[in-house]
Structure 1
Amino acid sequence: MLTSQRQQNRRGRTVMRDVHALDPDDVLVVQFNERGQPYGDIQPVLANFVGTIARNGNLLPLSFLDWRKMPKKRLNDAWRKVTARFDIPDRHRDVIMQMMGAAWRRWRTEIKAKSYDSNIPLDELVSIRPVPQKLTPEVWEALCHYWNTNEKISKINQENAKKKRGSHALGRTNIPSLEHKF
C-alpha cells in the first residue's frame, strides 16, 4: 500500500477522562514555587486538564472573541471545575487563569487555521455544515465575521510571525519543574 493511501493514526485531542472521573474526595495536590508557578509531576496533568476546560465551548465559548471580556461568572465556573480536581490555594488563581486563557486562545487559533479561509466568500464560510470543531452555528458565524473584518491586521501578524527565529523545545516540562529538578 502506498504511503499516501495509508490511514495515519492520530492521538486526537486530550480529554483527561481519568482526571474528570476522579472522585470528589480524591484531589491532586499541585506544588507551586516562590513565584506562584506550578511545578513537579502533577504540573503537566494540571496543564492538560486546564486545556480541556478552556476548550469547553459551553463553559468558555469563543463568541466573546476576547478572553478579557469573558464574563466573571463563566471564569468562576471554570475555576471551580479546576479546584474540584486539584488542591490549589486561591492565591494561585491568577496563574491558573493565565494558563486557561492561553489554552483558550490556542484553541481559537487552531480553529481558524483548520477551518477559516479568507479566499472563500463570507456567506459561503458561514453556511458550512456541519459547523467545524463542534461549534454552534452562531459562534461560527460570529468568528467568521470577526476574522473577515480583521483580515488586514491578520496579514500583518502573519508576516511578523514568519520573522520569529527561536522556538520552545522543552516539551511538556515547564521551566519551574526543571528548576526544581536541578
Structure 2
Amino acid sequence: MVNKFGQPIDPGSGTYTKYLGTLARNANLAPLCYKTWWEMPKQLKEDMWNIVKGKYDVRIMSKHRTISSIEKKWRGYKCELKSEYYSVRDTDAERLANPPPDVEKEHWEFLVRHWGTPMAKEVSKKNKECRGKQTMIHTTGTKSFARVSAEIEEDESIQLSRADLFICTHINKDGKATDAAASEMIISFHASILQKRGHVP
C-alpha cells in the first residue's frame, strides 16, 4: 500500500525498504565503479525497477521514489565502505591490500583511486560539514515519516500537515522536543499558526 505520493505505508514497508538495500549492494545491478548515481547507466536503474515490480505489487507512481531510495542506500553503502575500510588506513597500498570482503576487486580499486582525488576530498569535506549541522533528532526509529503519518491519520481520523508531522516526530514521550534545534522549529511552527489566525500582530 502506498500513499498519494507513492510512498509505502503498510506494515510490510520495512521489509520492502530492506530489500531495496540488497539491490543497492548488488555488484551486478548497482556497481560501485561510478563516481555518482547520475553516472549509473539508465538501463541498470530500469533493471532494478523491473526486479522490484516482479517481487512487489508496486505502481508506476512509486518508481521515482523507489529508484531514489535505492540511490540513497547505494550512497550510504559507499560511505560505510569508506568509513570502515578506507579511512582507517594511511596509504592506498594498505587499502588495496585490505579490501572489503564483499566488494569486487576492480570496484574497490576504482573507489580507492576516486576517493584520493582532490575533488572527492573536497566533496567529502563539505558533506561532513553539512552532516555536522544536522542536529534535529527524530523519534521514529526505522519507521518512515510516511508510515507514521498514515498511522496517526487512520487512528485519529485527522489530516496531518507537514508541521503537524514534524512536531509528532520530534517530541519525546514527556512532550518535550528532542533537542534545541527541534524546539526552535516547533516554536516557529506555532508562531506561524498564530499569525495566520490573527493572534499575533
Percent identity of the aligned residues?
Answer: 27
Q: What SS is found at the alignment partner of 2:136?
A: coil
Q: Alignment RMSD, CA only?
A: 1.8
Residue 124 (structure 1) shift: 3.2
| Matches of 1:66 and 1:154, distance apart in 2 | 13
Alignment partner of 1:138 out of 88, 106, 119: 106
**Kept after mapping to 2: 8 A contact 1:116/1:125:** yes
**Kept after mapping to 2: 8 A contact 1:125/1:144:** yes
| Matches of 2:147 and 2:134, distance apart in 1 | 26
Alignment partner of 2:56 out of 80, 86, 103: 86
Q: Runs of 5+ in structure 2 lacking a partner?
A: 153-201
Choose between structure 1 and 2: higher strand proportion.
Answer: 1
Tell me which moved more, 143-152 or 167-176.
167-176
Alignment partner of 1:175 out of 137, 140, 145: 145
Q: What letter corresponds to residue 41 of structure 1 in structure 2?
A: P
Q: What letter corresponds to residue 67 of structure 2 in structure 1?
A: M
- 1:105-153 CA distance string (max 9 Å, x none): 1111100010002761223322x14x21421111111101111112243
Any residues of structure 2 matched to 1:8-157 within 5 Å, and which? 31-117=1-87, 120-126=90-96, 128-129=97-98, 131-149=99-117, 150-157=120-127
Q: Runs of 5+ in structure 1 lacking a partner?
A: 1-30
Q: TM-score, normalised by structure 2?
A: 0.68
Q: What SS is found at the alignment partner of 1:132?
A: coil
Tell me which moved more, 48-57 or 117-126.
117-126
Q: What letter corresponds to residue 125 of structure 1 in structure 2?
A: R
Q: Which has the larger radius of gyration?
A: 2
| Matches of 1:167 and 1:57, distance apart in 2 | 33
**Kept after mapping to 1: 8 A contact 2:89/2:95:** no
Q: What letter corresponds to residue 144 of structure 1 in structure 2?
A: V
Task: Report the equivalent of 1:21.
Answer: none
Residue 165 (structure 1) shift: 1.2
Choose between structure 1 and 2: higher helix proportion.
Answer: 2
Which gives a bigger RCO, structure 1 or 2 (Cα 8 Å, sep 6+)?
1
Q: What SS is found at the alignment partner of 1:87?
A: coil
Instruction: Report runs of 4+ in structure 1 exceeding 6 Å deviation.
Output: none
| Matches of 2:52 and 2:61, distance apart in 1 | 14
Q: What SS is found at the alignment partner of 2:116?
A: helix
| Matches of 2:14 and 2:6, distance apart in 1 | 16
